[in-house]
Amino acid sequence: MDQKIYGKGRVLRGELTVPGDKSISHRALMLSALTEGETRIRGFLYGADCISTIRCLREMGVSIESREGESGAELLLRGVGLRGLRAPERILDCGNSGTTMRLLSGLLSAQCFDSVLSGDESIRRRPMGRVIRPLTEMGADIFSERGDGRAPLHIHGRALRGISYESPLASAQVKSAILLAGLYAEGESRVIEPGLSRDHSERMLRSLGVPIESRTLSDGRTEIRLRPVEHLASFPNPLFIPGDISSAAYFLTAALIVPGSELLLRNVGTNPTRDGILEVYRSMGGDISSERNRIIAGEEVSDLRVRHSKLHGTTISGALIPRLIDELPVIAAAAAAAEGETLIRDAADLRQKESDRISAVAEGLRALGVSVEEREDGMRILGQGEKLSLREAEIDSRGDHRIAMSFAVLGLLEEPGSFLRIHGSDCIGISYPDFFSDFEKIC
């Protein structure tokens, strides 16, 4: 499906509640499945990626149903306990979800049955060696069918042992795969990261009574230690999932760059391991204020008020990258509308996402007439500020939801009468099925 985005004259006003956090939704499903009893989940993201996790868990005997509760729609999940999953009768289809595949790799490595994880063409191109290596060190029998470190992955469940693993990159998916396997392993599991990646897994495991500790080492690295358990406590009922800051990022950006705009985004998760975009935009001169700061289900939540601002360029690198890795494509769009140079470094992992996001963003910006230099680990963007004049163009989303949404935002700055056409925009349903209808509510 193609989507046309028309140009200037659209001002964003009003308030919006974005969908539930994708990362938290995945983890809520998997960990609720390992508890005993029922968990009611509110704010769950009904995007294609999270539905892939539902599908895989159902294949292993977990009852999951949608229903209307007293306060609106909720997901009802009946847990089977730590050792209650059953052998799937078919290949587990992870769709386009890297989170589903990598986290389930850790969980399934310790089960008493065999399984196969696969997915769509895109997921079969993404590297899985980063989880295969540490899980193999734990004693897992897991291998790539094609021998290239990519799916399909064959897993022969067996007893595991705890390890001390020094991860070469700060990756919440790698860390979470090890921690899930560590629930079953003999002895302590220890993960050391070069920086702090998103910590939703640690927070959830801690709330379920798992002995888990996190600390910052003297050299700035992060250490997480986990000891195995016999069973998991229950989540509080209902379990609330805050709005996804990665989804809010598109509306934050749109309001900042479209003159006359002001938005209030409600119930946005502002976990410190995820709020790097707020730090960057404020450093660029963005007018973003946090209101009604509170804690819901162990996660920081805020209402974010954002107003149009004259942005200037900045440098984004180092320890900040893991805190905004998913938001970098839309930050690049904001950089095109900012005054001066923006430099993105240390983000080579963008090339291993649903698409090569460095290449996709650079290609799209060039098509619009923006000066951009593609680099191996990022890009240099020369923004034109108020002088920005975008060419009418066609953008290939490459089947990547974050590329499609990022250019939809930038398309709001097209000249009157011009439009930007996004090819393959239906991929947005992976994380934000109501993206375009939500835009219409506030334009």
Active-site annotation holds for 326: yes
Of 326, 396, 400, 438, which is the active-site residue?
A: 326
The answer to whether 7 and 393 are in contact (CB under 8 A) is: no
* Distance between CA atoms of residues 443 and 440, nearest Å: 5
The answer to whether 138 and 160 are in contact (CB under 8 A) is: yes
Q: What are the CA-CA distances from residue 272 to residues 63, 90, 242, 322, 324 (Å)?
A: 33, 39, 14, 11, 11
User: Residue type for 316, please?
Assistant: I
3-state secondary structure of 308: coil
* Distance between CA atoms of residues 226 and 148, nearest Å: 30
The answer, yes or no, to whether the previous bond of 238 is cis (omega within 30 of 0) is: yes
3-state secondary structure of 151: coil
What is the distance, to the nearest Å, from the Cα of residue 133 to the centroid of all Cα atoms in its chain?
A: 22
DSSP H helices in 184-323: 200-207, 245-257, 276-283
Catalytic residues: 326
